[in-house]
Structure 1
Amino acid sequence: MPLRLATWNINSVRLRIGLVAKLVDEHAPDVLCLQETKCADDHFPLNDIRKLGYAHVAIHGQKGYHGVATFSRFPFVTTAKERWADKDDARHLATTFAAGPLEGVTLHNFYVPAGGDEPDPTINPKFAHKLQFVRELHQWSERIAETDARIMVGDLNIAPDPSDVWSHKQLLRVVSHTPVETEGLDAMRLAGRWVDAVRAHVPHPEKLYSWWSYRAADWEASDRGRRLDHVWASEDVAARSTGVEILKAARGWDRPSDHVPVIVTFG
């Protein structure tokens, strides 16, 4: 039985719950991971989510900032809401499937810090925090490198390859594509023996984006995107992936997020 797993930085789940419903109606993901939910747990629209057919819900939120959530048609157990980079921000949620096509697989849902505008950690605390977060992800990946049955999804806020941005040359000094970030993310991927499940189906150098800035007067015409949203898996799980979709059309929905959903199908 195939399983469709979607990841999406929703940029406020309460503001865009209608878009979540639209995604589910049109694309029917079996598992949906959201980031930047911006919602405390006691205000999360759980009834709306359950009406969409997700009986199994895990949330890790905070008021007005950050936040991750995982919904599934298959049962899972919540295994971790870890603390990262010396802050109590809601940026990670781990769940392990108890049944279904991914039974025994642990799914990690991450929202990595954006890092602010200035790519200098000595003058920009937000960028320093992001780099610390990536270093800790590297250490964590090393610890679990020998384990199977794992998936990592989310807004990692780094476009790692030249073909993941509209202009490699022009973005080398722009946060999300600086060498210290891209090299750090690539080192982390190698340390954890992660497979980029999206690029496994759409290899470089084909351009792929999942984010377009709100600042663009016409995002579609300029098409100055970046691939910030990722689905990675251990080799055994990645070998079961059968296809990928990046829903660019969602950027044009009414009052959209600046990110679009990324869907990977596992057989």
Structure 2
Amino acid sequence: MTFTLATWNINSVRLREDLVLHLLQTEAPDVLCLQECKSPLDKIPLEGFSALGYRYMVGRGQKSYNGVAILSKLPIREVAAYDYASLGHARHIAGQLDNGVTIHNFYVPAGGDKPDREVNEKFGQKLDYLTAMRDAFHAEAPETSILVGDLNIAPREDDVWNHKQLLKVVSHTPIEVEHLGETQDAGRWVDVTRADIPEGQLYSWWSYRSPDWDSADKGRRLDHIWATPDIAGAAHSSRILRSARGWEKPSDHAPVFATFDL
């Protein structure tokens, strides 16, 4: 079985329904994982997605904030939805395909502006969320699983446009990178994107604050696809659809893709 999976922080699925439809029509991934849906589940516009063959969805919704959903052409059933760190946020959903592969879709807290939990509660929540993820993976080692989502951390020096300038900027601080690394190690997760594209600058997010985002190219790789070691070797054809960042009224994130032969 071969299937292609994409992950995308859509920044409001209702506001950007047309962009999701365009992606589904032009790229046709078998599975699309969305973050920051900003909608209760019953308000997500499923009719258009279903008409394109995406008849299955699992997710967790929240009015105006957060929210994660998995749209699929393939049958998928919900197997988990954890509230890591007990924040009361809709930030995780897991679904299992008929071939036994479990897909975890995450939206890790962004962490606010100041990388100091003493003065910024949101930064503390981010670190606590990652710690809870780490502890969960230590307690029960994942198998035959894919983890995707907006993890809101660019871990490598070449995952940001300027490593030195961003060392004190939330999303690339050493403590965040350390927490993400511990979470990845706990589940023995393989970074599929970097396994496929091991060298060079690679970004999936460009700030709305930059009026000329494309030429300035001050990006960060915040969106990730990981897999457990038993299936990581089956992944290939990783890519980031940079052009989506330039679509009309876009999300500030671009979709990330990988194909699995299982």
TM class, shorter-length: over 0.9
Partner in structure 1 of residue 67 of structure 2 = 67
Letter in 2 for 1:156: L
How far apart are 1:41 and its partner, in Å?
1.6
CA distance in 2, matches of 1:24, 1:185: 30
Residues in 2 aligned to 1:234 and 1:2: alpha-carbon distance in whole angstroms:
17
State the shift of 1:245 in Å: 1.2
Equivalent-residue separation in structure 1 for 2:214 and 2:140 (angstroms): 40
Counterpart among 166, 169, 186 of residue 171 in structure 1: 166
Partner of 2:136: 140
Query: Is residue 34 of structure 2 the alignment partner of residue 34 of structure 1?
Result: yes
Return the offset for 1:52.
2.1
- After superposition, where does 1:187-198 map in structure 2 within 5 Å? 187-198=182-193
Match 1:115 to one of 80, 92, 111: 111
* Alignment coverage as a number of residue pairs: 261
The alignment status of 1:160 with 2:155, answered yes or no, reads: yes
> Any unmatched runs of 5+ in structure 2?
none
For 2:180, the equivalent position in structure 1 comes to 185
**Distance of 2:59 and 2:120 partners within structure 1:** 30
Match of 2:198 in 1: 203
Could you tell me how far 1:171 is from its partner in structure 2?
A: 0.2
Q: In 2, Cα distance between the equivalents of 1:84 and 1:241?
A: 28
1:2-151 correspondence to structure 2 within 5 Å? 2-98=2-98, 103-145=99-141, 147-151=142-146
Whole-angstrom CA distance in 1 between matches of 2:139 and 2:226 = 16
Which runs of 5 or more structure 1 residues have no equivalent in the other structure?
none
Q: Secondary structure at the match of 2:226?
A: strand
Identity of aligned residues (%): 53
Deviation at 1:190, TM superposition (A): 1.3
Counterpart-to-counterpart distance in 1, 2:60 and 2:66: 9
The answer as to 2:245 corresponding to 1:239 is no
Cα RMSD, aligned residues only: 0.9
Q: Distance in 2 between matches of 1:52 and 1:251?
A: 23
